[in-house]
Amino acid sequence: MTTATGTIAAKRLHHHAYVVRDQETTRRFYEDVLGMPLVATWCEQEHVRGKLRTYCHTFFALADGSALAFFQLADPADHDELAAAVPTSLNHVALAVDSDGMADIERRLGAAGVPYRVIDHGYCRSLYVLDPDKMQLEFTLDAPEVERINSVRRGDAHAELARWLAGDHTPNNDLR
C-alpha cells in the first residue's frame, strides 16, 4: 500500500501484547471460549524497564498469522507496575471476522456465559467483550458495501482530520 507520504513498510500485525494476571485463565478464554489456538509459549528473563524480570509470554494465533500475545510476570509487584492502568478506557484490539465468524463468536460467548455488547456503526457491526484481565476486544463485521465506504473515507481522510482539528466536531458518519 502506498500513502501520500510513501510506502508502508509493515506487512501485517505481528502481535499485540498485554499483561495478564493468570496465563491459564487467559488460555481458557482465548483458546477454549474464542477458539484461538495457543501457538507459542516463551518463558523468559530479561531486563525490562530497569529491572530483571521473569515472565511467561504466550501467543494465540489469528488466521493471517498474526497473534494476540500475553505476559504473565512471575513477581506480582511487576504485574502491578506494568499492567494497563485504565481497563475501562476506550483502548481495545479490533479483529475482523466474516459473518460466520461473528455468529461463531456470539455462540461461543453465549455458551460460556460471557457478557458482550453489539453496536452497528454503519460501516461495520462490532461485538465488544472484555477478556479476563479486562482488555477490551472488538470483533468487526464489515458492512456489505465496505469497498465503497472505504473509498469515500480514503478520499476525504485528510480533509476530515483537518476539519476536526480546526474545531468542527460535526459527525460525518451518516451510515447509522
pLDDT digits (tens, 9 = 90+) for 124-175: 999 999 999 988 899 999 999 989 988 888 888 889 988 888 998 888 888 8
* Structural domain containing residue 37: 11-150
How many CA within 13 A on the CB side of residue 129?
21
- The pTM score is 0.80
164 domain residue, yes or no: no
Q: What percent of the chain has pLDDT over 90?
A: 60
Structurally, how many domains does the chain consist of?
1
3 domain residue, yes or no: no
5 domain residue, yes or no: no
111 domain residue, yes or no: yes
Burial of residue 169 (number of CB atoms within 10 Å: 0-12, 13-18, 19+): exposed
165 domain residue, yes or no: no
- Better-predicted residue by pLDDT, 163 or 7: 163
| CATH number, domain with residue 144 | 3.10.180.10
19 domain residue, yes or no: yes
| Averaged pLDDT for residues 23-37 | 96
2 domain residue, yes or no: no
**What is the Cα–Cα distance from 76 to 106, expressed in whole angstroms?**
33
163 domain residue, yes or no: no
